[in-house]
Structure 1
Amino acid sequence: MFSFFKKDPTKKLHKQLSIKLEQAMHAQRNGDIRKYSELSFEADQIDKQIIEIEKQAKQDG
């Protein structure tokens, strides 16, 4: 009924993803490829969570 009052569950994850990608960019620019790889992997995991939540929302809605 009042679905517009519900919080977006992916909003926090999108913010985390943005932060991880920015950190990865800085690590790459500084030449720290190992740190870049770790941060990119973490960003990929967050992105997969976002996709899964959005997929479930489409199925429920």
Structure 2
Amino acid sequence: MIKLFKASKVTSLQKKYDKLMKEAYDLSKSNPEMSQQKQLEAQEIQRQIISQPL
């Protein structure tokens, strides 16, 4: 049951990561600086995902 909660946390982080990457892509055409900021935020989320124990 504990793994179920950890998997849901990873799933929610993955959704945040996907959302940030989509926003970064959309902004890349109009505002490259904001796009870069969104990519940095997404990288931080990715680090959190990787650091989660299995």
Query: What range describes the TM-score normalised by the shorter chain of this pair?
Result: 0.7 to 0.9
TM-score (structure 1 length as normaliser): 0.75
Figure out how many residues of one structure are paired with residues of the other and give that number. Answer: 52
Q: Which has the higher contact order (CA 8 A, sep 6+)?
A: 2
Corresponding residue of 1:50: 49
Identity of aligned residues (%): 17
Corresponding residue of 1:20: 20
Deviation beyond 2 Å, 4+ runs, structure 1: none
The superposition leaves residues 1-51 of structure 1 with CA deviations (integer Å, 9 ceiling, x where unpaired) of x567x2312000000000000000000022x11101100000000000000
TM-score (structure 2 length as normaliser): 0.84
In our comparison, the structure showing a higher alpha carbon Rg is 1
Corresponding residue of 1:38: 37
Higher helix share: 2
